[in-house]
A and B are shown apart, each in its own frame.
Chain A
């Protein structure tokens, strides 16, 4: 068993890890569909998107880790749960296909907006990663939005499942737009946008998708999830135990 690593909690590192971990953990969740999706084309599509997300996470973790003397694998696989800084929405179990589609619509819309802004980052490497990732995120968003419309405006059963998924997921979205000291640092140094500045454009695009899907935008709730501060749901430990088991059992294992 390999001991966990400690991370540097500077605002800059936290900003990079929040983004890398969003990609990493959503990639892990989408990868769970491999061999289980409702049709072959979707099995392939979800695995493709997982691959893009993990590739984006690799680039970000390599970049963040270089400043701490850590490599991408150490950061991806050897942290303790509280040192993962993804927003809670991406760690929720994959649910049914409607849940996966609606989460992808919410998160890929958010990521596309983040990457667009990060192309102007004062950090040249982060801007370069964003320049590539934004093109991939557009395909992800379009895929999710097309399916949201097809299922939301589909059969009674597909609609019922979409409504249930939306009801569960919506309360986890405010976390994406809550600012704290990490955002203040990112905005003042030009590293990247503060979370709150993406709220309006995200809501506008979600309203467009949900409107076309004939699904009602849920009401706001007072609930606030806390994943990006390292406080996760009970699902995170299970996800990590599966994701980390190989590197923990065979340190440095590669193929």
Chain B
């Protein structure tokens, strides 16, 4: 059994191969056409093949060239930051900018290991005022300020 010496390249290679395969599989539903009259499936298939080739070279090469190990994965920053944005997206239309902003700031702040709840709430209120001033009043974006405005 071959040993993977450069795990980053190996995983990246597999990722590219998988994407290439997926692209070709999906593009199989689109007409291929000929070189002179390309159908919508032509370009994606060419790209998929190239991606698989490069992915394969990367993955095979990782068995010979050594590289750095895969870094660890800290779930808290990933989940909390992205989660706070998802929450913002889900509520902003109905709850309005002010409430959504305060909630986003409060939640996102918890991603840091230096989290201070009181500070996060104050910062949320200040930023909510700023966001309303800049985006709604200044740049005239169509975002409701309070719940039920739009």
Indicate whether A and B interact.
no
